Amino acid sequence: MTESAVKKVTEHSPEEIERVKEWINTEEYKEKNFAREALVVNPAHACQPLGAQMVASGFEGTLPFVHGSQGCASYFRSTFTRHFREPSAATCDAMTEDGAVFGGQNNLFEGLENAYTLYKPKMLAVYTTCMPEVIGDDLTAFIKNAKTAGHVPEELPIPYANTPSFNGTHIHGFDAMLKSILEYLTKDRKVEEKCTGKLNLIPGFDGNIGNLREYQHYLELMDIPYVMMPDISEVFDSGCDGNYKLYPGGTPLEEAAESINGKATIALQKYSTVQTMRLVNSEFSGVHEVMPMPMGIEKTDAFLMKLSELFDKPIPEALKKERARAVDAMTDAQQYLHGKKLAVFGDPDYLLGIVSFLLEMGAHPYHVVCSRATKKFKKEMDALLETSEYGKNCSVYVNKDLWHMRSLLMTDPVDGIIGDTHGKWAARDAGIPLFRIGFPIIDRVNLHRSPVVGYQGVINMISMIANKFLDIKDETCEDQWFEMMR
């Protein structure tokens, strides 16, 4: 290239910037944006091993173990730590170029031995990143060989899941790891005629510890013995008492092993538990139910009635009062939500729950966006919307991202967005509030401790949404409209 051919550093004119700034909010832009075939911009989902790590973290004494590239392990740990503001232990076997050539067996051997010696886990839960999946590592053989060669004791449980990131999302990795752990722990544990009398509760991929505690609260009030699988409630919400605990909680392994003889198994998410429930249906004793997340009154009612039916226990007075308080909160605040239009994005099961709640409140779910979902989900969501006049005119978009959602917000405005932190850019551009429900929430404190399921969840969601709309009114109204009461 000759000197004269070198281009000058350029700047855009203010007019050009202004033109594009307006243009990206137009219908014309929206059409172009929706015509995208290859580019994904601001997706609202993550990859499989993240979900697998959540499961691995939720079992007693279990160290999550990433087979593959080291950077992935750091990303997963950082993601959970930012969301929960809690430690998130996980290790990896750090495959590099030579692993790509020779396979990752030697890394796995060394990694398992070191992890076992240093961190003394009761179980190592292994899941994969893209790298070993592309080169085709055989984990069944590798783990068997590691035990045979004495790197880890024969009796140490090491379930594993294949969780390639180029397939599915974090909810599918959750499913794969949970299925694998349950399959491993319950093997040969089924005893005919034996019944633990317990409920196996599978909450699904849920970053809200408050939700898990709410389930526990119900089960304790109803005096139903249970085992939650996985149980991240203590793991990702452990107190600060001057002692760091590497394994602060999780589902006891023995209880998980006995879950195969349970009285009943309930999954409270459908799309994140498909494989697991397939296992449960074919192997586990008792009754098996897949229920929607209990968000809103009706779905909470259904959950409690199901518990009552399965365990032949009455719904206690205390819960009737909780229900009444939640309905009271709804009737008190309905005027602040009625008719509000909302865009909602997130994981399939969460979306179904949020939409149910909005419909009960008389709010309009208006744009529903799921950046990775099946047609089956869309059908289910459409059917849910059809149950209410408030679901009319709502459009459901699957496999569309948050940049698509931005176009929807700019061309067909709504009053607010419900979703995780990643929605904050779109919310800012549209000048509307973001109600943070989902995962991850990395820019506000304590929301992961505030349940959105059950009756308390109804109250919490109303407070969050209604009070924000009232704040906006107070902050933006002209002086003559500013008043004491709202």
Report the nearest approach of another protein to the CB of residue 357 (Å): 26
Cβ of residue 163: shortest distance to another protein, in angstroms? Answer: 10
Catalytic residue among 134, 191, 195, 477: 134
Which segments within 90-152 are labelled E, that is strand?
A: 91-92, 123-128
As a whole number of Å, the end-to-end CA separation of the chain is 69
Whether the bond into 230 is cis, omega within 30 of 0:
yes
Q: In the complex with another protein, which residue's Cβ is closer, 107 or 261?
A: 107
Report phi then psi at 351, rounded to 5.
Answer: -60, -45
d(CA 393, CA 291): 26
The CB-of-436 to another protein minimum distance in angstroms stands at 15
> Which pair of structure tokens corresponds to residue 288?
């098996």
Q: Which is nearer to another protein, 81 or 216 (CB)?
A: 81
- In angstroms, give the least distance from the CB of 277 to another protein: 23
Catalytic site includes residue 370: no
CB 313 → another protein: shortest distance, Å?
35
Residue bearing tokens 């506000």: 444
Q: Active site residue: 47, 72, 92, 130, which one? A: 130
In the bound state with another protein, the residue whose beta carbon lies nearer, of 166 and 481, is 166
Instruction: Give CA–CA dist 227/213, Å, rounded.
Output: 13
For another protein, the closer CB: 10 or 480: 10
> Which residues, at least 6 apart from 113, have a Cβ–Cβ distance to it below 8 Å?
146, 151, 152
Q: Least CB distance from residue 24 to another protein, whole Å?
A: 6
Helix ranges restricted to H, 284-435: 297-311, 317-337, 348-361, 375-386, 402-411, 424-430
**Tokens standing for residue 437:** 């429900």
Per the annotation, the verdict on 134 as an active-site residue is: yes
6 versus 484: smaller Cβ distance to another protein: 6
Q: Which two tokens stand for residue 92?
A: 């990896």
Minimum separation from the CB atom of position 388 to another protein (A): 33
Residue 42: CB atoms within 10 A of its CB come to 15
Cis status of the peptide bond prior to 440, with omega within 30 of 0:
yes
Q: At what angle are helices 70-84 and 48-57 packed, to 10 degrees?
A: 60
Nearer to another protein, 88 or 269 (CB): 88
**Alpha-carbon gap, residue 275 to 178, rounded angstroms:** 9
Please tell me the distance from the alpha carbon of residue 220 to that of residue 217, in angstroms, as a whole number: 5
Nearest CB to another protein, comparing residues 195 and 246: 246
Tokens of 486: 């709202």
Is omega for the bond preceding 365 within 30 degrees of 0, making it cis?
no
Distance CA 203, CA 23 (A): 43
Hey, which residues are catalytic here?
A: 130, 134
